[in-house]
Structure 1
Amino acid sequence: MRIALAGVAHWHAEMHAKAVAAAGSTLGCVWDPDIAMARRFAAMHGAAVAEELDALVTARPDLVVAMGQADRMPELTDLLMDAGLPIVMEKPAALSAAHLAPVEERARKEGHFIAVPLPNRLSPIWAEMAALRADGRLGDLSHAQFRIINGPPERYRRDGAGWVLDPARHGGGALRNLGIHGIDAALSLADAAADQDIEIVGVSLDDRLYGEAVEEYAVVILRMPGGMTVSVEAGYTYASMEAGGDFEWRISTRNAYLTDRGAACAVATLDDCAERTLTPLLPADRYDAFMIDTLGRIARGEPPAVGIGDYARAMRLIDRIYQKEGCR
């Protein structure tokens, strides 16, 4: 398959280019409003340059990865839907759920393929939970913690994406940017339509270290329908400018305790007093797995594993968190 990248002046662009190669596909043309950036990216990856976005559309790629500033992404996604092209809609893709809503409604009504890269859905612990549930061994859900802490906010300016630190162009800070992964994980444990039924027990947002206009650290406590407690932690407070940081997913049930720390995954089960390691999927390889899964679904005529509806639910919950009394 031929994959086009639209908006390569984005920190996820290199991940997607790597994922295209891992999937055994061809990186076709690339485009960016900054044509000099598009030419540099194309030269690095042996791709063609689309001087205008219309040229990328006219090339009719099998899939377009759409990336850009949150305030401009709905317009880009609409243009690609006009062309009837399958889309990977990279985050952030809107300023808020209301900003995203017309795109979501159109995609649903017209049946567009729009996959959203929330690749931690491919963590080995989800498959292990499904297997335990199928065997009747999972038990009731008790609590979960989803943490993702990356390096200081200045790294976004270093990468030419300083707009992420501007609430008018991004719609929030670490919670909107990184916390979306944890919020999506929390929602995946609840009824798909139950985002309005989730109780926001507590929220703390902090911007003390770097004085940015957006929060650099957020922690949220949620109570899910049925009583499960979930905490989501996101921040720009890891002491490194390099890729990676502090990542941990934990889920506790009556009979199982599952952990994913990126390079190490494990499960403990009460009924057989066993502890087992699971084959990890490294965070650096999760975009590869996402691309392979997405292309397979397109080939089989299946919907994406994580679609625009899932993303919209997470955005709605984040909007409610920001709007909660006492939060900035």
Structure 2
Amino acid sequence: MSGFDSNPFADPVDVNPFQDPSVTQLTNSSSDGIEGFNPFTENSKLTNPAQTTIPAQITPSQPAVLQPSVEPSPQATASAAQVNLLRQQEELERKAAELDRREREIQNKSSGSTKENNWPPLPRIFPVKPCFYQDFAEDIPPDFQRTCKMMYYLWMFHSVTLFLNLLACLAIFTVSSSNGVDFGLAILWFVLFTPCAFVCWYRPVYKAFRSDSSFNFFFFFFVFFIQTAVYIIQAVGIPHWGNSGWILALSVIGTNNAVAIIMMVVAGFFTACAVMAIILLKMVHSKYRRTGASFQKAQEEFSQGVFTNRTFQSAASTAASTAAQNAFQQGN
């Protein structure tokens, strides 16, 4: 019945919510922490300062290991760059010289100016003037100058050998009158083969290297192959052929040793000519394969050269006019 004794119309009892034991206990325990909290200190925390923090364990650092450097030194890099620049500069200078040479050639052709002949180098007071123009530095590209000069030296050695062959045949003619034929033919070979060799195989190879002419290359190969065979025959020395070769020189050993020695020296010169001719033939052929020449180009150059030749044109026009006049007269 006690539950019904309370008056429901009486004033309610004032209940202070802050008097709750749980609330008062919490405020009492945190009052000390708030009083000791200084927000302006550096190590202030929002947590209770009474709580102690355990510092983290610091692990000892490992010593740094230096890796070996694989990059090149500045001096090596600078020297390599300098070498590269020098090589590029040499290549550019070579190309500039080649372009300058070609430009001069084009200008000379366009202006119609002709170069003054300078070979053979004869004195100005001499009645005979030079017949050819020759300048290796200006006409021949640098890659072919050495080979072209060696061909020129071979022609000079060829001329000296023919002159010595004339003297050797003269010597054997003084010993034996039956060898007069050899002496006469030796004179003929010297007078004939010296200029013919210059015109028939040296000048074609010079013009082939100068203008990259396929026709001149083929003409040179044909003639120089025959010249190499002639060198071999002259070195053999068949009697009564006008050549002081090994056979003729050995046949004189029992008769006159001095003449035999002279003829053997000349036979050695002919042998050297044959060996050098074979070597230079291979060298020129290797250069020819690098120039891009072909038999078709040689045919085109030959046809263009023939039809553009003034002598051929004048001869063809003269023949055509003569034939037309004859046909007109016969018609009348």
TM superposition score normalised by structure 2: 0.24
State the structure with more CA Rg: 2
Pick the structure with more strand per residue. 1
